[in-house]
Structures are given as C-alpha cells and as structure tokens.
Amino acid sequence: MSRPTRVEAVWSIDDLELELRKLPGVRSAGFDEFDDVLLVQLHVVDRQQKLDHPDRSDQPVPVSASRIAARHSDRPVTVEIVRWRNAPPVEPPLLAPASSETVETAETDTDEIAATRPAAITGTGEPARARLLAVLAFPDTDELEVHLVFDGRRTIGRAPVSNGIEGAVVATIDAVRDLGTGIDARIVWARAVEDVGDGNRSVVAVALDGVDARSPVRYGLSTGTSLIDAAARATLDALNRRLSRAL
C-alpha cells in the first residue's frame, strides 16, 4: 500500500464528510483528487439502516451523496459507491482449510456516478464465515474472552483463563453458540502440539464432539500467536464445515 496523502481542499471537507457519514449505511468515506476533480468514495453496508435522519433514509445513497457533495464543492465531483453485501451461500468446502483462520468475506459491487475509476474492491466469491476478532486474557480476574464477528454481529465467549487452552476452546464454543448456530459442541480434549512462543509458532489440536451426528468427534488443528489463540482457531477449524452450513 502506498503511503496515504492528505487531501488538500480550499473548502471545508470536514462538513462534507460528516454529512456523507450520516447517510444510511455509510461506513467509510475516502477522498482523492485527480486533475480538478474530487473523488469521493463511500463504502456502504446495505443492511445497516440509520435512524437519525429518517427523512433521508428513503433516498438512494448515490443520489443523496452526489447532491451533498455538489452542495459542498465548487468543482467537479465524482462519487463512487462501493456496496457491501454478504456473499451468496455456496456449498461447504469438502475439506477444511489448512489454516483455521476464518475470514468473513463480502461481495461488493460498485454503483458509480460518472466515476472514472474502477471499483476499489472486488468480491471473492467465498462464503461468509464467522471471523475470530480477538482472544483476550485477563489473568488478574481469571477471565478469558473470545470475540467473534459474523455479519456485523459480535459475540463474546468467556471462560476462566486458568483453564488454559481448554478454557479457550470452551470460550470459543460459547461465542459460536451465541451466534445462534445451534451447534452444541463439547470439548473432548485439547493439546498443545508445539509452543515455541515466537509469533505464529504455537500449535494446538482439539477434539470436539456434538458437532455432527455423522462424525462423533471432530478434530481441529491450527497455529496461533499464542496457545490460547491457537486453541480458539483450532476450535473454529474443528467446527468449520458445520459452521459454514449453520451460518
């Protein structure tokens, strides 16, 4: 990525940005310049409706954004809308990925108004997945938290940090359950395979039951930045195929 450059403008771009960010679903606003044209790029999440400006909620974002930009600028403006939608459901993968790190993907399309640049982001076509946001340990209160996100919704699973990697597995299952998946997995065992303590060198294997009736025990294996991180990822690895169907 190139180093960002600051957009210089003789008029207040702050007011423009604030007003654009008030439009329904706008999650990010970016600005660029070429020749004498100001490029405004908005990333819009369709299903996120904002209620603070109900009078504008029925207006298409491209129309509203163009009008606002034109009102704030004394020079030509290009408004590029990048829409984010969840990818359509696809068949679950036959094999679990080598790494258990799951990434939520989003399909995008652009709805450009007189735009002269291609879309900044292209869809990947992969199924939406729950994504591991963080594994946090609080030794002073003996708490361990596993944070997941799926479709803009975050869940947090908790367990005693003193339970080590088993606690991380339980907390991950707890967070998955809160996503409303209906998966009622239980830990059979969890083992540290390797713990070099150097970046991504911790490796954990887990075995879960209650994941799938056809396969009483599901196994997961993953690297991680720490043992508990690897344990959380290994748990998602074990749940992967069932999870992709449930979500």
Partner 1 sequence: MSQQSGIARGLGALFPGPTGHRATDSASAGSDAPSGVMRMNALGDDFASAVATSESGIALIYKALDALVEQFALDDAAVVIEEASLGQQVFCAGRRPLGADDEELLVSAPGLYTRPALDDHTFDRSMMLTLCVLALRLDALRYDAWHDALTGLYDRRSFDRLLEMAVARSSRYGWPFTLVILDLDHFKIINDEQGHQAGDAVLRDLGERFRRALRFGDNAGRIGGDEFAMILPNTEPDLVPALLDRVRRAEGVESPCPGFSFGVAQCPQEATEFDKLVQLADARLYEAKQATR
Footprint on this chain of partner 1 (rule: CB under 8 A):
1-7, 12-15, 17-19, 21-22, 25, 27-32, 39, 41, 43, 45, 48, 50, 52-53, 55-56, 63, 67, 70-74, 80, 82, 84, 103-106, 120-122, 131, 133-134, 136, 147, 149, 152, 154
Nearer to partner 1, 51 or 95 (CB): 51
C-beta of 81: minimal distance to partner 1 in Å? Answer: 12
Residue closer to partner 1, measured from CB, 222 or 226: 226
Nearer of residues 98 and 103 to partner 1, judged by Cβ: 103
| Amino acid residing at 239 | L
CB of 48 to partner 1, least distance (A): 6
- Do residues 202 and 192 touch, judged by C-beta distance below 8 A? yes
Q: Which is nearer to partner 1, 69 or 187 (CB)?
A: 69
Q: How far is the CB of 35 from partner 1 (least distance, A)?
A: 16
When the beta carbons of 74 and 142 are compared against partner 1, the nearer one is: 74
Q: Minimum distance from CB of 21 to partner 1 (Å)?
A: 6
Minimum distance from CB of 192 to partner 1 (Å)?
21
Q: Which is closer to partner 1, CB of 15 or CB of 184?
A: 15
24, 181, 208, 236, 241 from 216: Cα distances, Å:
46, 18, 8, 16, 14
Q: What is the DSSP string of the chain?
A: -PPP-PPP-SS-HHHHHHHHHTSTTEEEEEEEEETTEEEEEEEEETT----S-TTTTTS-HHHHHHHHHHHH-SS-EEEEEEEEEEPPP-PPPSS--SS------EEEEEEEES--S--S-----PPP--EEEEEEEEGGGTEEEEEEEETTEEEEEEE-GGGHHHHHHHHHHHHHHHTT-----EEEEEEEEEE--SSTTEEEEEEEEEEETTEEEEEEEEEESSHHHHHHHHHHHHHHHHHHHH-
CB-nearer residue toward partner 1: 75 or 186: 75
Question: Smallest distance, Å, CB 160 to partner 1?
Answer: 19
Smallest separation, CB 238 to partner 1 (Å): 23
